[in-house]
Amino acid sequence: MNTGDRGQAALGALLWIVLMAGLLIGLGRLGERVVDDARAQTAADAAALSGAAATDQAARDTADRNGAELLSIQREGADVQVVVEVGSATAVARARLETLRRRP
């Protein structure tokens, strides 16, 4: 084996390491996005339920406790819609307050 072959092998190994590092960074960012999406949806669902059952402040507090920022809350009758943000993810959830009726 001459010295030129060893240089090519080192260059190939370096290229492989750089490609693998890039792949790992990309997978890490994808994983972070998936987690943010899930956390945002969970926070939105909880905030919408709190908003329907109580007040706008309850929805805001619930979003905050779930690590989210409540961007908006809209009410229309018994319906509540919230938009929250966690990291780079935004989620929307709706809830409706319904009273239970006793059947005869």
Q: What is the pLDDT of residues 53-72, one digit of tens each?
A: 999 999 999 999 999 999 99
Range 3-96: architecture per CATH: 2-Layer Sandwich (3.30)
pTM, to two decimals? 0.74
Output the CA angle 47-52-58, nearest 5 degrees.
Answer: 50
The reported pLDDT for the residue numbered 68 is 97
Residues facing residue 81 across a β-bridge: 74, 94
Q: Which residues of the chain have pLDDT under 70?
A: 1-6, 99-104
